[in-house]
Amino acid sequence: MGEKIRIAIAGYGNVGRGVKAAIEASSDMVLCGIVSRNPERVKKELGASDIMVMDINDIAGWTRELSPDLAILCGGSSTDLPVQGPKLAAHLSTVDSFDNHGEIPNYFNAMDKAAHDSGNVAVISTGWDPGIFSLERVLASSFIPGVKPYGFYGLSESGGLSMGHSDAIRRIPGVKDARQYTHAEPDAIAKVRSGGNPVLTAGEMHWRECFIVLEDSADAGAVEETVKNMPNYFAPYRTVVNFITQDELNIRFSGFPHGGCVIASGTTAEGGSAQIEYQCNWGSNPAATASVLVAHARATMRLKKDGKSGAFTILDIPPAYFSNLSREELLKKFM
C-alpha cells in the first residue's frame, strides 16, 4: 500500500464525529488533526487523546503543523460552509456535504474559483442527498427517456429524523426540545411506481410527525399552531404533533435514523416498462454521510494525481475512484 492520505477534519459536530470514525476504520487514510472554531470544546470531548486540535482560523498554522493532503469540511450548510468552503479551498483540497440544494450552483462557482486559482480540488455537496441520490437521479433520467425521478424519505415505520425540521421546532418560544420524523406516503410511492410521471404536491408525498418537549410555562395549543402553520417546513404537509416529556424523548429517540429512495418509472423507446429504484436505509444519517465523504477523499487524491483542479461533484467522478480496490479487483468482483 502507498502512503496514507492525511486528512484534517474542519468543524466538529455530528458529521465530524462520523468522519473521525470512518477515517479510523480506513486502512488507506490517517486523521492528521481536527480544526474547529472552538478547539477547547473539541479537546474536552476527545478527552485523553493524542489527536491534534487547532483553531480553524489559523489556516497557515494548521496547514503547516498538520500537513494535510486535504480537509473534510463538516460545518453546517446554512452559514458555515458558504464562508469556510471558499476560504479553505484557497489553501488545500477539500470535500464537503453542502446540502442547500437551491444554492448548489452558486456554491459550486465560488468553490471552483477558489480551488482553480490555488491548483486544488474541491469536491462539493456529497453525502446521500445531495450525493448518491443526485447520481441516481441523473442515471435514471439518462437511462429511461423522458422519465422524472422522485425522492421519498422516511420509509421505515418510524420515519426518518429530519435534523433541519427538528431544529426549526426547537427555535419556537416555549419549546425545550423536539424531534421531527418525516414519513413517505405509501400511496404516492405506489402512484410513482405505476409510471406516467404523476403530478404530486409536497404534501401528497410526505407527512410529518413531531415529538415536542415544552417549557413549564408554555401554551401547548399555541406551539402546535405555530408548528403546523410554519411556511415550507410544515404548512404544506399533514403534520401530527405529540407532546412528551424530556425523559420519554431521551429514551425513545436516540441516534439519527434516516433513509429514502429514488424511483423513476416509465417506458423504453419501444414502449416496454422500465423502472429504476435505489434505496438507502441508515441507522445514523451523519455516520452514513461521513462514510460517503471519506470515499470522496480517496477520489479527491486521484483527481489531484490526474492534474485536475477546481470544483467537482459526484457526477464528475469515475466510480472506481471511490474504491480502494485495484482495477483488476474491481473487474473481477463487481463487473
Binding site for ligand NAP (CB under 6 A): 11-16, 36-38, 41, 56, 74-77, 80, 97, 99, 127-131, 163, 285-286, 289
Which one, 88 or 241, has the nearer CB to ligand NAP?
88
CA 56-57-63 angle, to 5 degrees, is 65
Q: Give the C-alpha distances (Å, rounded to integers) separating 198 from 73, 137, 138, 156, 257.
A: 38, 16, 19, 23, 29
Q: How far is the CB of 85 from ligand NAP (least distance, A)?
A: 12
Which one, 70 or 241, has the nearer CB to ligand NAP?
70
Q: Is the dihedral of CA 109, 112, 118, 120 positive or negative?
A: positive
User: Closest Cα partner for 72 from 95, 44, 104, 43?
Assistant: 95
Q: How far is the CB of 75 from ligand NAP (least distance, A)?
A: 4
The one-letter amino acid code at 162 reads: S
Residue with cell 418525516: 182
Q: How far is the CB of 140 from ligand NAP (least distance, A)?
A: 18
Q: What is the DSSP string of 197-225?
A: -----HHHHEEEEEEEEE-TT--HHHHHH
- Residue with smallest beta-carbon separation from ligand NAP: 13
On the 0-12 / 13-18 / 19+ scale of CB atoms within 10 A, 298 is middle
Which one, 10 or 121, has the nearer CB to ligand NAP?
10
Which one, 154 or 266, has the nearer CB to ligand NAP?
154
Q: How far is the CB of 290 from ligand NAP (least distance, A)?
A: 9
Q: How far is the CB of 134 from ligand NAP (least distance, A)?
A: 9
Given a contact cutoff of 8 angstroms between Cβ atoms, the answer to whether 89 and 312 are in contact is: no
Which one, 84 or 265, has the nearer CB to ligand NAP?
84
